[in-house]
Amino acid sequence: MAWTRKILRVDLTNGTCKTEPLNMEWAQQYLGQRGLATKYFVSEVDPKVDPLAAENKLIMTTGPLTGTPVSTGGRYSVVTKGALTGAIACSNSGGYFGAELKFAGWDMIIFEGKSPTPVYLSVENDKAELKDAGHLWGKSTWQTEETIKKTHQDPQIRVCSIGSAGENGVLYACIINDLHRAAGRSGVGTVMGAKNLKAVAVRGTNGVASIKDPKAFMAASTAAKKVLADNAVTGQGLPAYGTQVLMNVINEMGALPTRNHRDVQFEDARKISAEAMVEKRPTDGKSHLVTNNACFGCTIACGRISKIDETHFSVVNKPEYWGASGGLEYEAAWALGAANGVGDLEALQYANLLCNEAGFDPITFGATVGAAMELYELGILTKEQIGLEAPFGSAKAVCELAEMTARGVGFGKELGLGSARLCEKYGRPELSMGVKKQEFPAYDSRGIQGMGLAYATSNRGACHLRGYTVASEVLGIPVKTDPLVTEGKADLVKAFQDATSVFDSAGVCVFTTFAWTLADLQPQLDAACEGNWTMEKLAEVGERIYNMERLFNNAAGFTAKDDDLPPRLKTEAAKTGPAKGLVSGIDKMRPEYYKVRGWDEQGVPTKETLGRLGL
């Protein structure tokens, strides 16, 4: 079975917890996690709902492979209507929390309503209760986890929580679990905060016993682990250098967005790269990187654990930040660094620590600072308004603005709205670098054309994790395509989006796809899950999920106009590197993509498409 077949429904308004059976018919159509929770969500929530209203729901969900020995089988997702985007949101996290939730016996928790006072949910196997969180409100994610473990006298409890950002309404607040893993994007933590839900604490001792064919399952998962170990990216590159292995590669490609996408190459990329993280610092003779780190069940172990330079200006006299902690990962290093023209590794790690501690997304935060810096350089924002000088390249500004955003004070309040609202407010909406009000991650659409289409058509706003064509266009996985052309990208993006939907619904990490295709995942799923999980069925499930999310967004009011990139990427050519002279070909790719998808010219799935997918 792999599913626990149990859902926990938590009514925050009335303070009740109820158990429901999982809809197994839906499980056959939507698999689990992202797909299945989204099916529940769209069936129960009005697409027009205000994300911060009590009527919005928030679902924490595991997949059928979560909590099993399948490599990376520890994922969980948070599904809701995103506070930042107003679109369907699904943020995926690793660490140990997801597996623990599964071990406690739950496929998902559906939170509805709004608690009159701050609460946290305590789950101990089948026992679930809401507890007062008055003493936790105002505490950081790190303090919250520590306090809950102490209160329950159980160090084996796993916790996910929001920090000050989620409490203060930062629109891109995360939910942090296990200190430095995050359901990071689209403001899922903001929705949690709006519900007065501070944390979820789980202890599960039931394990996963319901595998369809344990023998076949062990054989399939062992074979698939070997594929990961033998692959250069998942077996060597990621464990040694983490996702940061990409910094120099993408910079060389001329696809590293720099200074709010004014440039596509960053002169100090090397200083904030994986290579820099392992070099000995002149100040203390130690390297920034301490070790790599795995999430539950992961045989890749790409996570970075670092120690900041204690003499760095950002942490002098702040010993609470001197211990080993998570970071830097590529996206955070890019957003806090290159996006702002900042080449100070230690400053980036400090800002990254604040993002984890207070629970906000470093991608959107970093990109929003980039927009603010451009407004500052244009003279639209002044030193007085911001509270300090904020030119591109100022490490001090990034650190202090992160502090202000974490505390919800001064200009931090405006940064907490994200770049779209900030740029709109100051009359320059075109300077917000994102799609559907969510900021781009670390790949420039001019230098990697397929990513532009993936961003424009991502169901949760600009995102690299909905269709990571970088794998094909840069790394040649599964086949090499030319990053500088638009031809063939519509098919490529659709294929990545649909396959990713399956991986996100299974309970495994999308980073496995550097080495695995659906053909590697299929035997593991088929041995674990009831039903006949063929390649054809999985391909259809992926496409069905993508279209279901699209239908929700269309009903929420999104149109073809929202499948677009900011004018800068369509009119200002890349100045340097292999993509020099190129702009994004999004306007050419979009209609091709709609056709490949079986959508009409307005981006609406046709009757035939919906019929074919059973929607």
Contacting residues toward another protein, per CB under 8 A: 67-69, 71, 96, 99, 103, 179, 204-209, 211, 214, 218, 225, 229, 239, 290-299, 301, 305-307, 323-325
Least distance from C-beta 203 to another protein, angstroms? 9
Write out the H or E segment, with its range, that includes residue 325: strand 325-326
Least distance from C-beta 76 to another protein, angstroms? 15
Query: Of 60 and 308, which CB lies nearer to another protein in the complex structure?
Result: 308
Tell me if 207 sits within 8 A of 125, measured CB to CB.
no
Q: Which residues contact 23 (CB under 8 A, 6 or more apart)?
A: 40
d(CA 284, CA 13): 53
Backbone angles phi, psi at 573, to 5 degrees: -70, 155
Gyration radius from the chain CA atoms: 22
Query: Of 217 and 455, which CB lies nearer to another protein in the complex structure?
Result: 217
Residue among 237, 243, 211 at smallest CA distance from 73: 211
d(CA 332, CA 351): 9
How far from 464 is each of 331, 385, 577, CA to CA, in Å?
10, 33, 21
Least distance from C-beta 149 to another protein, angstroms? 12
Least distance from C-beta 39 to another protein, angstroms? 26
Query: Of 304 and 590, which CB lies nearer to another protein in the complex structure?
Result: 304
Query: Of 514 and 552, which CB lies nearer to another protein in the complex structure?
Result: 514
Least distance from C-beta 95 to another protein, angstroms? 10
Query: Of 71 and 168, which CB lies nearer to another protein in the complex structure?
Result: 71
Tell me if 18 sits within 8 A of 50, measured CB to CB.
no
How far from 447 is each of 165, 419, 476, 524, 614, CA to CA, in Å?
34, 22, 15, 36, 37
Mapping DSSP to helix (H, G, I), strand (E, B) and coil, where does residue 331 land? helix
Query: Of 530 and 600, which CB lies nearer to another protein in the complex structure?
Result: 530
Query: Of 305 and 380, which CB lies nearer to another protein in the complex structure?
Result: 305
Secondary structure (DSSP) of 273-286? SHHHHHSBPTTTS-
d(CA 73, CA 64): 9
Least distance from C-beta 266 to another protein, angstroms? 28
Query: Of 103 and 360, which CB lies nearer to another protein in the complex structure?
Result: 103
Least distance from C-beta 156 to another protein, angstroms? 8
Least distance from C-beta 221 to another protein, angstroms? 10
Residue position matching structure tokens 């091709």:
592
